[in-house]
Structure 1
Amino acid sequence: MTLSQLQYLVALDTHRHFGDAAAACNVTQPTLSGQLRRLEDELDVELIDRSHQPVVPTAAGESIVNEAREVLAARDRLATTAAEVKDRVTGTLRLGMLPTLSPYLLPLVLPSLETAYPEVSLVLREWPTTEILDALRTDALDAALIATDEAGPGLHDRILFTEPFVGYVAPSHRLADRESLGPTALSIEDLWLLSEGHCFRDQVLQVCGRAPSAPQAAAQFESGSLETLVRLVRTSGGMTLLPRLATHHMPEAERATFVVPFADPPPTRNVRFVTRRRHKQRLTDAVVETLCDALPETVVLA
């Protein structure tokens, strides 16, 4: 039994496809398949139900997969501990981020991280909250940035910063001339929204005084991308709400024309750093410190 075989097994459980698992492990599909056959022969138990599509672990395989994740996590801890003894910050951090956060935060953070910690490697995954939390619980991620009220049982989280919302309003919109917005002035009927499954959508609906599960008054276009909503406002009118970091990269002329702040106190979201295990502590501390140092003054550090 080898660590590589355990890595292949975990990858197959994660991707549920031999080709995708092999690509994730940077080996050929025959190599991965053959090594898993050898592992099954050595353990004398069938680990994978190959008749099922997509492939899934057998009942025995699920137990072995969980143990394999523990072994691989222990391997990573050993490597991190060895690096810390040498007073080095090194290693790989598998980090999940929300689609409403990563396009705006990563350009601020990555250059500083690469300069300060050249031996640190980030493996980044942009997923919705539910997928991020599932990946943390199965050790497919080491850490994540989310924006829900709490991460849930079995996970450790802390608030890193609080981010206000702003309006992104077409010049033709009835609220375009306002110096500031108030929640009571908003109307869900002329607000472009993210599609269901995005926590920012639920937060916007709550700002408007509507429960996420409440039926809409009329059919509306919904998008999975904030950038698509911005383009819709620019080309078709209406308005949308954005987290403040989404405006950081905009030219000053665009902010002056389209961005309208909320009156104090504005609606906000808390961005949390979440882990399942307390490992890779020095590595996660370095990433968090660099991230917080790179944040603009438009957000409030915890």
Structure 2
Amino acid sequence: MMLRQLEYLVALANERHFAHAADECSVSQPALSEGIRKLEKELGTPLVRRGHAFQGFTVEGEAVLKWARKLLKDQESLKQEISVLQEGLRGTLRVGTVPAASSTVAILTDKFARTHPDVTVNVQAGLHSADILRRIRNYELDAGLIYAEPEDLAGLLVYRLYSEEHVLLTSVDMLDCLGGATWQKALELPLCLLDSSLRGRQVLEQRLAQEGLSVSPRIECDSIVTLLAHVATGHWASIVPKQWLPPLGQLPEIMITKLDDPVVTSQISIVMEDGNPQTLMSQALTKVIFDTFPTTEPASSRHDK
């Protein structure tokens, strides 16, 4: 078995197309197909479902694919360790984030990139927590910012970063007409909120339901920028975690108002593979986490079941 054959398999999984996978690996399509067939012959089982075009992987292929990604990541970690000894940390840090952390992730990635100038940082925003966990377990991401769900985190290294606290965003004129910062009055405003399929919105609805309150936004979106742009028009209000706002700088057209009880909070954590040994990239990120969020504490480890 050659690592090159495993690269072919992973490229095919990424591209879902033989010709595109061959281009990614800088080989001809026949060479890529032959490499995968040799791997299948060596393992004694079909890995790819073939027809006129790529049709997916067999059950055995999915299992081999997970090992292929791990072995290739281990190879990259080995190269990184040797490179660090010679020249300093290099490579790419891949971070996924739920929409609610797509601004606060900059606090970490900014410091990491400045601390390690030879590392490229790739941020994939707008993902669901479950998708982030799947990609980390498939070695497609190095870390991710998620809403903590303990039953989903077994076997991963997790650090609690901060608890969100929701505030009301309005224009100055809309705030003057509000007549008191109560939840009931805020919920009567024309609202623009995160899409109902997103965990941040679900946390808000669940907490309000406990108080006998409900929310019916006129506009929904999956982007912080789009949400703030609607508030800036002066015609829409929003309810968001206040932790979103400092990384965005000054928002001169937007007023931020603390709401009375109930306090709506939710936990944002960062999760990564709990490898042994931990990769140098993960070690470097962990150091930045503790430097940036001094109160950070572990939420779970690989020993959790």
TM-score between both structures, scaled by the size of structure 2: 0.76
Residue 202 of structure 1: CA displacement? Answer: 1.0
- After superposition, residues 76-95 of structure 1 pair within 5 angstroms as 76-82=76-82, 88-95=88-95
Percent identity of the aligned residues? 25
* Separation (CA, whole Å) in 2 of partners of 1:109 and 1:27: 34
Aligned residue identity for 1:277: D
Pick from 266, 271, 275 the counterpart of residue 268 of structure 2.
271
**Cα distance, 1:283 vs structure 2:** 2.5
- CA 1:178–1:119 in 2, change beyond 3 Å: closer, same or farther? farther
Cα shift at 1:264: 8.0
Structure 2 counterparts to residues 1-302 of structure 1, below 5 A: 1-18=1-18, 21=21, 25=24, 27=26, 30=29, 32-43=32-43, 45-51=45-51, 55-82=55-82, 88-106=88-106, 108-126=107-125, 127-150=127-150, 151-173=152-174, 181-187=181-187, 190-209=190-209, 220-235=218-233, 237-248=235-246, 249-251=248-250, 253-254=252-253, 257-263=254-260, 266-278=263-275, 279-291=277-289, 293=291
Unaligned runs of 5+ in 1: none
CA-CA distance at 1:274 after TM superposition: 0.7
Give CA-to-partner distance per residue, 1:159-208, whole Å, 9 cap, x none. 022333221123443676567x4445442774322113311111222343
More deviation in 43-52 or 191-200?
43-52
Q: CA RMSD in A?
A: 3.7
Asked whether the equivalents of residues 11 and 25 of structure 2 are also in contact (C-alpha less than 8 Å), the reply is no
After TM superposition, give the deviation of residue 272 of structure 1 in Å: 0.7
Label 1:290 to 1:40 Cα distance change in 2 as closer, same or farther (>3 A): same
Measured against aligned partners, the alpha-carbon deviations of 1:220-266 in whole angstroms (never above 9, x if no partner) come to 33211122222222336231122224322242523xx4221235884
The alignment partner of 1:55 has SS state of: strand
Q: 1:54 to 1:271 in 2, by over 3 A?
A: farther
Q: Equivalents in 2 of 1:203, 1:46: separation in Å?
A: 44
Q: Quick check: 2:175–2:255 contact (8 Å CA) kept in 1?
A: no
CA contact (8 A) 1:171 1:258 kept: yes
Counterpart-to-counterpart distance in 2, 1:301 and 1:71: 31
CA contact (8 A) 2:128 2:198 kept: yes
Could you say if the C-alpha distance between residues 62 and 282 of structure 1 is closer, same or farther in structure 2, counting changes exceeding 3 Å? closer
Conservation of the 8 A alpha-carbon contact between 1:158 and 1:273 = yes
- Counterparts in 2 of 1:10 and 1:176: CA distance versus 1, 3 Å: farther
Q: Cα offset for 1:92?
A: 3.4
Q: Counterpart of 2:154 in 1: which secondary structure?
A: coil
**Distance in 1 (alpha carbons) for counterparts of 2:63 and 2:103:** 37
Is 1:5–1:36's contact at 8 Å kept on the other side of the alignment?
yes
Decide whether aligned partners of structure 1 residues 100 and 88 sit closer, same or farther in structure 2, where only a CA change above 3 A counts.
same
CA contact (8 A) 1:104 1:245 kept: yes
The whole-number CA distance in structure 1 between the counterparts of 2:200 and 2:156 is: 21
Aligned equivalents of 1:170, 1:29: Cα separation in 2 = 58
- Asked whether the equivalents of residues 77 and 280 of structure 2 are also in contact (C-alpha less than 8 Å), the reply is no
Between the aligned partners of 1:43 and 1:109, the Cα distance in structure 2 is 42
CA distance in 2, matches of 1:175, 1:208: 24
Q: 1:65 to 1:196 in 2, by over 3 A?
A: same
Under a length normalisation based on structure 1, what TM-score does the superposition of the two structures give?
Answer: 0.77
> Where does the alignment leave 5 or more consecutive residues of structure 2 unmatched?
298-305
- How far the C-alpha of 1:84 sits from its partner, in A, is 6.4
How far apart are 1:20 and its partner, in Å?
5.6
**Using the alignment, how far apart are the partners of 2:28 and 2:241 within structure 1?**
42
Cα 1:189–1:54, aligned 2, differ >3 Å: closer, same or farther? farther
In the alignment of these two chains, the number of paired residues is 291
Over 3 Å counting, the alpha-carbon distance change for 1:282 and 1:60 in structure 2 is closer
